[in-house]
Amino acid sequence: MSASIVVVMLLLCAFLAVGLLGSALGDISGPSTNIALNQPTGASSAFSGAGINATASAAVDGNTDSNFFNGSCFSSEVGDLNPFWYVDLGEFFVINNVTIFNRGDCCGDRITNVTIEVFDLFPFTETPELCGLVESDVAASGNITITCPDYVVGRYIRISKLSDSSFDTLQFCEVEAEGFELPCPDGYEQLDRYCFLYSCFKTTYAQAQEYCNILFTDLADILTYDMNNFVTSMIPADTCNYWIGANKLQNKQTWRYLPGDEVPLTNFTSPLINGTSNQSPFLGLSQTQVVDSDSKPENCALLRCIDNGNYLWDRESCNAQENFICCGTLYIGGGYNY
C-alpha cells in the first residue's frame, strides 16, 4: 500500500469513526453529581450488635440520618484496628470531592485521622491517588467535604483509618462523591481506562502501528484474560484478523509487548509462547514453534478468527495485510491526554 493511499485511509477512518485521542475532548468540565449513591460497597468489617447491622451499603443509601440506632450508618467492627470502607463507582470518574456525614448521637470523634484514596482496581494492590485527609474531629451530626486535587481519576473510593484502640471504629452515616464520567471519544470501545479502536482497512504491522501513533495510541497490548475477552467480543462481525501489540522482532526469540516488556509466562500466560491447551479462545503456538532455530518470518502477533467465531492468538508475517486494533489509556494532566 502506497504512502498516499495510507494517508487517505487514515483520514477516511478518522472522519467516519473517531476524533484524535488527545484533542477530541479538550474540555474536561462536566456535570457533577453524587456518583456514590446506591453503588456497590464493601468494608474490612461491619458492626453487628444491639439489633443494628451497620453495613457498608448504609453509607450510600441517600439517608444522612445521624442517629446510629436508626440503622442508616456504617461502622467497622470493634477490634478492627485497620478498618476501611469502599464504594465501587462502576465506571471511571474524575472525582471532584468527597463528603462524609458524621454520627450525631455520640462518638463524633471517630471521623479523625481518616484517609480518602482513589483506586483503579479491586483488590487494592496499586498505588492509589490521594483525595485528602481528615486530620481533626468532625462535629457531631456535621459533615466535612474533602476537595480532591485536580484530575483525580478512578473507579473505587476507599476511606480508611489507623485505629488507636479496639473501640476506635470507623463510623459515618453517609458518603457522597461528586464527579463526572471520564469517557473515551466517540468511535472507541471502552474498558476501564482503556480505549480501543478497530480499523476499517488492512495494512502491514508497521503501518498499523504508525496509524495508531497518529491517533496518540499504540497497537493494543492485551494484558489480561478479561481484556482479551472484551477485545474479541467487540470485533465487528464482518471482519476477521487483527494485528495486536506483540511481536518478536527484537531478537526473533522473545515475544514482547510494544513498550518492550516480555509477554509474561505466569498469571496471564502468553498463548504465543506455550499455548493454553484447554483455554478458549487462547489456542496459540507451542514452544517448539518459537525456539531459537525458528527461521519463519511470522514474527508479529494477531487475533485470528476461526470458524466458530472465536479469536485465537496467532503469528503472522509482519508484511501481511490485516486489520488492527489501536489502544489508548485515559489519564488527565491539565486536560485529556492519551
Q: What is the pLDDT of residue 308?
A: 65
How confident is the prediction for the chain on average, in pLDDT? Answer: 81
Mean pLDDT of 75-87: 96
pLDDT in tens, 13-49: 544 444 455 443 334 455 668 999 999 999 999 998 8
The residues, any chain, with a CB within 8 Å of residue 76's CB and separated by 6 or more, are: 43, 44, 45, 46, 47, 83, 84, 85, 169, 170, 171
Specify the CATH number of the domain 33-181. 2.60.120.260
What percentage of the chain reaches a pLDDT higher than 70? 77
Contact 84, 44 (CB under 8 A): yes
Q: State the Cα–Cα distance between residues 321 and 283, nearest whole angstrom.
A: 22
In the chain, what are the helix, strand and coil shares in percent, each to the nearest 5?
A: 15, 30, 50
C-alpha cell at 214: 497518529
Mean pLDDT of the 48-60 span: 91
- The region of weakest confidence among 251-255, 290-294, 325-329 is 290-294
Judged against a pLDDT cut of 60, whether residue 272 lies above it is answered with no
Pick from 1-15, 28-42, 137-151, 170-184: least confident: 1-15
pLDDT of residue 287: 37
Q: What is the mean pLDDT of residues 53-79?
A: 95
Read off the pLDDT band of 299 (50, 70, 90). Answer: confident
- Give the cell for residue 5: 493511499
Which residue carries 457522597 as its cell? 176
pLDDT attached to residue 21: 56
Average pLDDT, integer, range 250-277: 63
pLDDT tens column, 184-211 = 888 999 988 889 999 999 999 999 999 9
Rounded CA separation 210/206 (Å)? 6
Domain covering 3-25+184-337, topology:
Mannose-Binding Protein A; Chain A (3.10.100)
* pTM of the shown model: 0.68
- Could you say which DSSP state residue 216 is in? T
Residue 313 in this model has a pLDDT that exceeds 90: no
Question: For 243-253, what is each residue's pLDDT tens digit?
Answer: 999 888 888 87
Lowest-pLDDT choice from 14-28, 116-130, 136-150, 297-311: 14-28
pLDDT at 251: 82
For the chain, the domains span 3-25+184-337, 33-181
Yes or no: say if 209 and 217 are a contact pair by the CB < 8 Å rule.
Answer: no
pLDDT category, 72, cuts 50, 70, 90? Answer: very high
- Which CB contacts under 8 angstroms, 24+ apart, belong to 106-110? 106/68, 106/140, 107/68, 107/171, 108/137, 108/138, 108/139, 108/140, 108/141, 108/142, 109/137, 110/168, 110/169, 110/170, 110/171
13-17, 218-222, 223-227: which range is least confident on average? Answer: 13-17
What's the pLDDT score for residue 277? 31
3-class DSSP assignment, residue 94: strand
